[in-house]
Amino acid sequence: MQASDNSLGPYLRSEREQQGIDLHDIASMTKIQPKFIEALEADDYDRLPKGPFVIGFLRSYAQCLSLDADEIVAFFQAHHRQQKPMSSPPMQEPERSAPLRSFPMPRVSWQHGAILSVGLVALIGIFFWVLRSGPSTPNITPDRRADTLAASQPAARPVISAAAVSPSPAPPSPAFSAPASPEPSSPSLANLGSSPETAPTPADSPQTDAAPSEAPAPAVSEEPAQAPAPLVLRVQALEETWMRLDIDDGDRQEALIQAGQSREWKANSQFSLTIGNVKGARVLLNDQELDLPAPRSNSSCQLL
């Protein structure tokens, strides 16, 4: 191989021309594009693909012209080291990141650990102590509960009676007409607890104020308690008794009281009582028993 001025391209072109091979013919035989063959014969390697393609072109070109392919490749590598076709492109080194700084962990001595443990246990104990010592419902015994309820409620007001009635012994009662049927009738009115001739009316009878001194009650309830009625009438039936009652000239009530039962009524000023079985009933006014005038038939008695 004789290459002038270390030029491989002109040598290959002169060999092709001496053998009378056209450019397109060698391009067809080597399967290399004509433009790459022109660049190869002109030593214009910048127009050729990089890397091992140049070596492949040279081997195909030399074999087509019956030249020593190894000698052509060795000549190219010796005189064109700047190309370095067989070497792979240098790998780019990865950028080195900044080294991580390690901070030393503070060392905790066993003394500090013990102090922290004791403090934690103390905090937990205080927390549970606060929970257990919170407000709780006191255990009230029955006696203490009764005292508490009595202290919280106002004192009961005593019953104030309008008068302490003490009727005089009844004289012979006047004649009453006996009813024709078992149903009692209502004869003329008589004074309550006395005979119709001598007994004074409740307005004329002396009244004694039996009201005890009222103890001041603690003001617990906002609504004042209503004062009780001054007159309390209670009827206790020894036998079955029918009765009719007018309270304060307004409210009329009738009742049939069985033996052993009792009824109670209250009034502000007066009662008007008609009773069918005088001997079979006890009449109490303000807890004082009245001596009822018994008629002859024991079937009807009207009291005022």
Helix orientation angle between 53-64 and 34-41, rounded to the nearest 10 degrees: 90
Reported as a single tens digit per residue, the pLDDT across 244-267 is 888 877 788 888 899 989 988 888
Q: In CATH, what number is assigned to the domain containing residue 268?
A: 2.60.40
* In-domain check, residue 10: yes
Reported as a single tens digit per residue, the pLDDT across 41-66 is 888 888 888 777 888 888 888 888 88
User: Can you tell me the mean pLDDT for 6-14?
Assistant: 81
* In-domain check, residue 280: yes
So what's the pLDDT on residue 230? Answer: 78
* In-domain check, residue 292: yes
Dihedral (C-alpha) 57, 60, 65, 66: value to the nearest 10 degrees?
140
Cα 232 from Cα 3, distance rounded (Å): 156
User: Can you tell me the mean pLDDT for 73-101?
Assistant: 58
Structural domain for 13, as ranges:
4-79
* In-domain check, residue 286: yes
So what's the pLDDT on residue 119? Answer: 92
* In-domain check, residue 263: yes
Residue 23 has pLDDT above 90, yes or no: no
* In-domain check, residue 178: no
Averaged pLDDT of the chain: 68
**Of 32, 58, 79, the domain-final residue:** 79
Q: In CATH, what number is assigned to the domain containing residue 61?
A: 1.10.260.40
**Of 79, 106, 127, the domain-final residue:** 79
Backbone angles phi, psi at 262, to 5 degrees: -145, 150
For residues 219 and 176, which has the higher predicted lDDT (pLDDT)? Answer: 219
Reported as a single tens digit per residue, the pLDDT across 132-189 is 886 655 554 555 554 554 455 444 443 434 444 444 444 444 434 434 444 444 443 3
Reported in sequence order, the residue ranges of 157-270 that DSSP labels E, i.e. its strands, are 231-237, 241-247, 251-257, 262-267
So what's the pLDDT on residue 84? Answer: 46
For the chain, how far is it from start to end, CA to CA, in angstroms? 169
So what's the pLDDT on residue 261? Answer: 92
So what's the pLDDT on residue 57? Answer: 84
For residues 237 and 219, which has the higher predicted lDDT (pLDDT)? Answer: 237
Reported as a single tens digit per residue, the pLDDT across 230-241 is 789 889 888 998
**Of 42, 60, 79, the domain-final residue:** 79
* In-domain check, residue 249: yes
| Residues paired with residue 282 on neighbouring β-strands, in sequence order | 236
- Provide the number of structural domains found in the chain: 2
Residue 124 has pLDDT above 90, yes or no: yes
CB within 8 Å of 272: residues ≥ 6 apart: 189, 245, 246, 249, 302, 303, 304
pLDDT band at 226 (very low <50, low <70, confident <90, very high): low
Element (H, E) at 285: strand 281-285
User: Can you tell me the mean pLDDT for 74-103?
Assistant: 57
Residue 87 has pLDDT above 60, yes or no: no
Q: What is the DSSP letter of 5?
A: G
Residue 117 has pLDDT above 70, yes or no: yes
Model pTM?
A: 0.28
Q: What angle do CA 277, 279, 282 make, to 5 degrees?
A: 95
* In-domain check, residue 237: yes
So what's the pLDDT on residue 155? Answer: 44
User: Can you tell me the mean pLDDT for 118-126?
Assistant: 92
pLDDT band at 125 (very low <50, low <70, confident <90, very high): very high
